[in-house]
Amino acid sequence: GNSETGRSIAVRAASRMIPCSLELGGKNPMILLQGASLERAAQGLISGAFANAGQTCVAIERVYAQESVFEEFAGIVARKAAELRVGWSNSWDMEMGSLISAAHAAKVFGHIEDAISQGARVRSGGKVREDLGPCFIEPTVLTDVRPSSRVFADETFGPVVSLYPVKDAEEAIARSNESRYGLNASVWAGSPRIAEEVAAGLEVGTVAINASLMIYNAFDLPMGGRKQSGLGRRHGEAGLLRFVEPLSIAQGPEFAGGYDAILKYVDRKSRADLLTRVL
């Protein structure tokens, strides 16, 4: 659920002293640095932003691309988004379907309209497709989004992604970490070492290098968020132990009344040293 739902659940659980695990909202960033394959990164973004019509907790909603490749990358992403086959189908011929409800579609489109009204540039999409059904919105790519726009910082949870130019990796990390959310992130760089260094600096629960939604299929890794994106982890050993109540049993010596009773005989350093060696 979103962060508001999670907060309500956490309060109720705390009032009953019940532990809970919460996977909540996200405003998941992607970082693209010079040296990465723009075509491959663009395809990764298309999947990461528009799979399930963007209605995925780990979906990419904002991209920080290095200035030297920003315009070229934005053009590639816009072209690929426009080429997506959108519609309803029970077969394999469509690539993106509708949103879950008319009310949610209205909320998502409200984010787009608000951004446009404040000067955002639509690179692709940006329209409701009522000809396809009541809940269809085109895959939308935005640039020049202002910080005052709702789509800038609020979770959209729909087929909308915003692109921002940054000077270097340091700025990209800082801009990514400005969010109150911290769920998932994607990093694309020309060097595996640089990509790992960037990933280590992100305040999120999961990072995919050269991928976007891969964490969904990495079941041996713990998955979860930081900040307003949740509590606890799912998957992996950490996810299993989240729902285990440990029982610790310690067995001491029976003679002299047990371990605690023995301590009363430790009345000088020589005996303390002896007991330490025995234990």
Q: How do beta strands 28-32 and 60-66 pair?
A: parallel
Q: How do beta strands 22-23 and 230-231 pair?
A: antiparallel
Determine contact, residues 183/225, Cβ cutoff 8 Å.
yes
At residue 46, φ and ψ (nearest 5 deg) are -60, -45
Q: Which two tokens stand for residue 86?
A: 């959108």
Active site residues: 23, 57
Give the length of the chain. Answer: 279
- Of the candidates 9, 2, 30, the residue with the CA atom closest to the CA atom of residue 104: 2
Q: Which two tokens stand for residue 71?
A: 């315009």
- Of the candidates 214, 223, 217, 207, the residue with the CA atom closest to the CA atom of residue 31: 207
Amino acid at 3: S
